Structure 1
């Protein structure tokens, strides 16, 4: 149970930050996926409201990073003196960009500074088949960005010893997932969806029938909602593996995942009108950007989570993901597959 059962879908991230101000003040926080019209920006603004020592904003587009940094400085003039804001270029679809970003972040943390909170917020949702640009593997872009990119980025930060050790409160790794994870388990036998109509084991098959416009595919059989669903399941399984290996260990690192809610952001900018209409059919309440970051803030800040077995949060409270996202065997299998894809082994017991 969280420490504030009164928090709900209409709670704002700014409200959560105010309640947990002592968990933010003076801390070092890294947020990926920063865009002026996304929940990465609202998350950054919520944290900035309570004077963290260092706020590192990471994204693919320099102009978007600069725009959000200016939003923060305009809304919270005290950030000019109380909070250091640093901007880092990060494209999670590119393994070379990820490695360079970790090098840049390591330089920013010289002098023994560590990350207290890592928010893995960045994600994409494509409508056509695309592949990652520079790894030579031809990874399906959504899986390659939303999971593999996040997997590599997080593990390199851990390997470089950049997350804060005890004493409490322990560092936290927060990975933003989605209720869309229910659309598809991990499709281990064809995670690139190279053969959409291929017969796969029942436990790997996506939800059938898909509701309404969610069933729309391109001519080559690609379905962006299904591939997005798989990537969001991967986010939760990744978090589950981190929990089992890190929580309670000497480093004291906590890991949680969440569904932020249904929010109008740039994530859905490429969706056609029929898919957008389908979302309006199934979701009555659409959150503001500030409401959309509230569950992220609870996951990152609520001390009560350290005493629970919670893995996944919805509307600021602990919830249960779909059973296919709670499977420890699948979580370990995904970890090994991810290591194979990035070409490196990551043994969390060493961190």
Structure 2
């Protein structure tokens, strides 16, 4: 009855929106590679860890709760021979920063920058391209009118959970674009791309409460499983088709054109400097 919702439309990459992470990485040997995966204790992050490990990649799991990460690790080890918050009520992190911005964007900005120098050196010495894969979302199109609320980031007035989520995802795309430009200027052997994983059935919308409960039966019919949600992540991390590709935004394995304000280079630079100032 609902088969029309899950048609396999093949794209130029050779894969479709129904392709799973195992399918898009089939035959790829990741031996000798190291991947750091955030949000690794559930959902897309956990599935990404599983498939990368299946392909021989040494996986470092970034988790908020060690016990949850340990359970995922045990399951992977037994069967093999990311972190996100959406639509939460206004809350500040322990550092006094709006929670969705801190969790979905700023923490990843810091982690990437801490690892970047090591990645550049390793890529140069090994001859193996480094890849930064940033999970964003088409929700970047649904943010505040000014794009990023620099002056009101931590202000509860005017806060809307769904727009704050879009703001955090827009920030990730802007970060990807800016970092890609900086690395190209340095002629570094590291590429950076962002992606939309599709609308995936995970626990990220746990703050929606009764609305989530009402929509759950319908959602199961139309949402992707984590196997499909992790597919473009694994594709960008491992597939030879995207070697050398940088500064792009991918949907279903293919680079697509971004819409404003995600194309604003000045906004990307302003956000970068703003983020650095928040971490000082």
Normalising TM by the smaller chain, what interval?
0.7 to 0.9
Distance in 2 (alpha carbons) for counterparts of 1:9 and 1:279: 21
| 1:111-146 superposed Cα distances (whole Å, 9 cap, x missing partner) | xxxxxxxxxx3222242111111x3xx211111221
For residue 74 of structure 1, the aligned residue among 56, 59, 78 is 78
- Aligned 1:42-57 pairs, distance under 5 A: 42-52=47-57, 54-57=58-61
Distance in 2 (alpha carbons) for counterparts of 1:335 and 1:148: 10
Counterpart of 2:69 in structure 1 is 65
Q: How many residues align?
A: 265
- Aligned 1:6-45 pairs, distance under 5 A: 6-19=14-27, 21-22=28-29, 24-36=30-42, 38-45=43-50
Counterpart of 2:110 in structure 1 is 152
TM-score (norm 2): 0.86
2:150 corresponds to 1:188: yes
Distance in 2 (alpha carbons) for counterparts of 1:279 and 1:169: 43
Distance in 2 (alpha carbons) for counterparts of 1:333 and 1:275: 35
Offset of residue 276 of structure 1: 6.8
Distance in 2 (alpha carbons) for counterparts of 1:158 and 1:331: 18
RMSD: 2.4
Counterpart of 1:263 in structure 2 is 200
Distance in 1 (alpha carbons) for counterparts of 2:160 and 2:216: 16
Offset of residue 306 of structure 1: 3.9
| 1:67-104 superposed Cα distances (whole Å, 9 cap, x missing partner) | 1111111111x2xxxxxxxxxxxxxxxxxxxxxxxxxx
Distance in 1 (alpha carbons) for counterparts of 2:219 and 2:270: 32
Q: Is the 8 A contact 1:5 1:317 kept in 2?
A: yes
For residue 143 of structure 1, the aligned residue among 101, 104, 110 is 101
| 1:160-180 superposed Cα distances (whole Å, 9 cap, x missing partner) | x24532354310111101111
Q: Is the 8 A contact 1:261 1:314 kept in 2?
A: yes
Question: Runs of 4 or more off by more than 6 Å in structure 1?
Answer: 278-284
SS at match of 2:60: strand
Distance in 2 (alpha carbons) for counterparts of 1:339 and 1:141: 17
Q: Return 5+ residue gaps in structure 1 as ranges.
A: 79-120, 197-221, 344-351
Offset of residue 299 of structure 1: 1.6
- Aligned 1:178-327 pairs, distance under 5 A: 178-184=137-143, 185-196=147-158, 222-247=159-184, 249-274=186-211, 285-308=222-245, 311-327=248-264
Cα separation, partners in 2 of 1:41 and 1:29, compared to 1, 3 Å: same
Offset of residue 282 of structure 1: 9.8
SS at match of 2:134: strand
TM-score (norm 1): 0.69
Cα separation, partners in 2 of 1:279 and 1:190, compared to 1, 3 Å: farther
| 1:243-298 superposed Cα distances (whole Å, 9 cap, x missing partner) | 10113744311001111111111111221343676799899731111111001112
Distance in 1 (alpha carbons) for counterparts of 2:17 and 2:40: 22
More helix by share: 2
Counterpart of 2:131 in structure 1 is 172
